Amino acid sequence: MANYNVSVTQSIELQPADIGAGVSTTYIIDNPLLGSSYFVLETVPNSNGAYDSSSPKNCEGTYTLGSGLSGLVRSNFKVGVVVAPGGGNLTFVPTNAITAATLRLRGTGANNS
């Protein structure tokens, strides 16, 4: 089990360590903004910016949203959550082993939609 502190105001960063299949990982997401924002886990796309049969299915697994999070949207390659002001915790248990260099963490800033 690992915990990582992240923020909705961060730029794109790589996952700081590998995650084993079935290993629980919790992202402690800070949102210092006055409005809600988004946080995304995303498989690093191929050189053409897309996913194909050789892309790792990094986001396949189970998710538990802590208080302060809602609106989970997911695929095998990308998952996003809405983060209320103050933040919340996202727990992820991947189906597949994840190599750190193939998963990005991305805060998207203010929700202007």
Q: Model confidence over 45-97: pLDDT tens digits?
A: 998 889 998 999 999 999 999 999 999 999 999 999 999 999 999 999 999 99
Question: Any residues with CB less than 8 A from the CB of 74 and at least 6 apart, and which?
Answer: 59, 63, 80
13 within 8 A of 104, measured Cβ to Cβ: yes
Pick from 57, 97, 99, 47: which is nearest to 79 by CA? 57
Whole-prediction pTM? 0.92
Average pLDDT over residues 1-9: 93
Question: DSSP labels for 52-108?
Answer: -TTS--TT-EEEEE-TTEEEEEE-SSEEEEEE-TT-EEEEEEESS-B-GGGEEEEEE
Q: What percent of the chain has pLDDT over 90?
A: 88
- pLDDT value of residue 110: 60
Q: What is the mean pLDDT of the chain?
A: 93
Average pLDDT over residues 1-21: 94
Average pLDDT over residues 92-112: 88
